[in-house]
Structure 1
């Protein structure tokens, strides 16, 4: 059974409605500053981002793999185990009908519990999304803090999707209870 599409919130000045985003999704380069922090360490920071916009979802931001602190990205092996070796990047995978096969990564910060399967990337993104090559997206909730241009990012509801909620986007957002059929 599909849930009824909700009434979109009206965007204010400087805001976007996620209901105006396209399907299939659009990827676009952004020159904004993202900083990912966990356990007292900067895990990644970059102003070279790609955001993916899809109807009913807050933007998902992709950070260059090279922006991550050396040794903090660890590929997830089949069965959810991590490999300390950076070869074969992420053999645990899922499939997106638009972007292709995604591989997952853990984030490891010395002295802290690893953040398991907290990020994903497309080793060979669909030809429609070349901007995603060598970029990693992450779930917001497990990190101590992620900021975008200094604003603290909030996680997309639910836990399945990896959108970054900021004051510049309005929903309602897919992911929470009752949103399965949107």
Structure 2
């Protein structure tokens, strides 16, 4: 069993780390992403947010025009993903195309909200989506502590 990671001990500002964990994403049983060459961002009260190299993702992506700002990473670009058979989903994948200097290494890397319409896996374990669909953290059995999300950007009561 992996060592427990307590989100309350994660740093602020967030820490960016290269990882070798096996990340997979499937849609209706078909693999749409697979890598052991990703980064994660660890931030207080957030389960890890994973950033996958674009080359590891097998989806046609088109920017949607949606943008959000992270005080640490910069402006995020969101995408519409073509899922096949005419199906698509919007604003469930994002990247930082012009990140701040501290996050330059994830320029163009893609991050996915866990949960519908796909399933995300870390080292073979199916990920639970972060509550509230506000942040993109992936919850696995090695995550403990009180996470943000249910109340949007409000800090949880510790």
Alignment of 1:88-127 (within 5 A): 92-111=66-85, 113-127=87-101
Asked whether the 8 Å contact 1:29–1:131 carries over to 2, the reply is no
- TM-score w.r.t. length of structure 2: 0.91
- TM-score w.r.t. length of structure 1: 0.79
RMSD: 1.9
Q: CA deviation at 1:13?
A: 7.2
SS at match of 1:131: helix
Q: CA deviation at 1:106?
A: 2.0
Query: Are 2:150 and 1:163 equivalent residues in the alignment?
Result: no
Query: Are 2:10 and 1:15 equivalent residues in the alignment?
Result: no
SS at match of 1:134: coil
> Higher strand proportion, which one?
2
- The match for 1:89 is none
User: Hey, what's the Cα distance between the residues in 2 that align with 1:108 and 1:147?
Assistant: 20
**5+ long unaligned stretches in structure 1:** 1-11, 79-91
SS at match of 2:55: helix
Alignment of 1:1-182 (within 5 A): 14-69=3-58, 72-78=59-65, 92-111=66-85, 113-177=87-151, 180-182=154-156
Deviation readout 1:116-165 (Å, 9 max, x if unpaired)? 11111000110011221221111002233111110001100001100000
User: Hey, what's the Cα distance between the residues in 1 that align with 2:2 and 2:56?
Assistant: 32
